[in-house]
Structure 1
Amino acid sequence: MERRSVLLLAAVVVVVALADSVAATCPSEQLLPYGACVKLINRVLTGDNRKNWEESNEICKTEGGQLISLDTPTKIEQFTAHVYGLGGDWSHYTHWVGARKTESGWRWLNGAELSLESNMWYPTNPEDNASATYAILAPYRDHQRFYIFSRKATDLSPVIACEIN
């Protein structure tokens, strides 16, 4: 085998091993089809106050992760299906997710770009407002769909969507 082929094969083995380790340590009810381990924390149900984006990301860090990066339409669709599948009020709440406005535009915490033209945004978002710098996922009526909305640093949300490493 060529050196390049060996390196490619080694990289594939490492990626598969990492995916298997996440799946092995993640409870099945928290594992999304694309391999992410998600923990939803409902601050209303725990009796705590709603949190802002920064506080929510810190809570995710204490859980061993960060706010979830839903950087493709497939990921947001699978996340939405997961939330609606939980039943109860989960699908009625807004969820903090891991996107924020940076000097170079909107980015997910994993570094991926969140394009302003993405159909993941609610049609009137992101707001053309310098203070709206964080992303929240909100249900849209009865369409069983979530959209991304831009929010200010001081805004609060009841649900935190963590992606656990």
Structure 2
Amino acid sequence: MKRFCALLVVLGVATPLVLARCPDSFHGLSGSCFHFVTSGRWNWATAREECKKLGADLAVLNSPEKLTYVSDFMNRHLGEGGSTFFWVGGHNLKGFWTWVNGDRMNVNSNVWVPETPSKTTEPSYALLSPPRTQGRRYMADINSRIPGFICEI
């Protein structure tokens, strides 16, 4: 076994094997681990608190590819839970949209539902729309109670 592990380290494959392991209830997608909550009534802050209890944070879907991976998984595996809105880790504070990891959100991207987000300085938060709302895209909300959220490690 020691030789096998040493070979993996020499070949540089030990890191991907470690990263591919996700905690129970998390799903490995696009190099990250995601946990999907599909019931309850959560505002953005309480959803984020729940993610932190799991050692995670709200999902940072900061590329079209990552959004596609997560959307495809949701469409295939969540059944009725896939037809709801989900909080993700984007937020607008003082007119600047950022992810919870500090990355800027591209508000001019086609991954937003048309006409969103509005140019407001009021705090607002990103949610992922169900497929029936012009595909899975981001929408802005002032902090409603939403039945789903996505955590990411």
Question: TM-score, normalized by length of structure 2?
Answer: 0.82
The aligned residue for residue 35 of structure 1 is 31
**1:41 partner amino acid:** V
Question: TM-score, normalized by length of structure 1?
Answer: 0.76
CA offsets, 1:65-121, max 9 Å, x none? 000000000011111001001041122000000000134711111222111211111
Contact 1:60 1:67 in 2 (8 A): yes
| The one of 83, 91, 96 aligned to 1:105 | 96
| The one of 52, 57, 66 aligned to 1:61 | 52
> Does 1:156 find its partner at 2:127?
no
| Cα distance in 2 between the residues matched to 1:84 and 1:140 | 8
Alignment of 1:70-149 (within 5 A): 70-103=61-94, 105-131=96-122, 133-141=124-132, 145-149=135-139
| Cα distance in 1 between the residues matched to 2:14 and 2:88 | 26
**2:148 partner amino acid:** V
Deviation at 1:132, TM superposition (A): 5.0
Give structure 2 stretches of 5+ with no counterpart.
1-11
Give structure 1 stretches of 5+ with no counterpart.
1-12, 45-49
Contact 1:84 1:90 in 2 (8 A): no
CA offsets, 1:10-46, max 9 Å, x none? xxx6x962x43231234597111x21100001224xx
Alignment length (residue pairs): 142
| Cα distance in 2 between the residues matched to 1:60 and 1:29 | 11
**1:148 partner amino acid:** Y
TM-align CA RMSD:
2.3
| Cα distance in 2 between the residues matched to 1:128 and 1:159 | 25
Contact 2:86 2:148 in 1 (8 A): yes
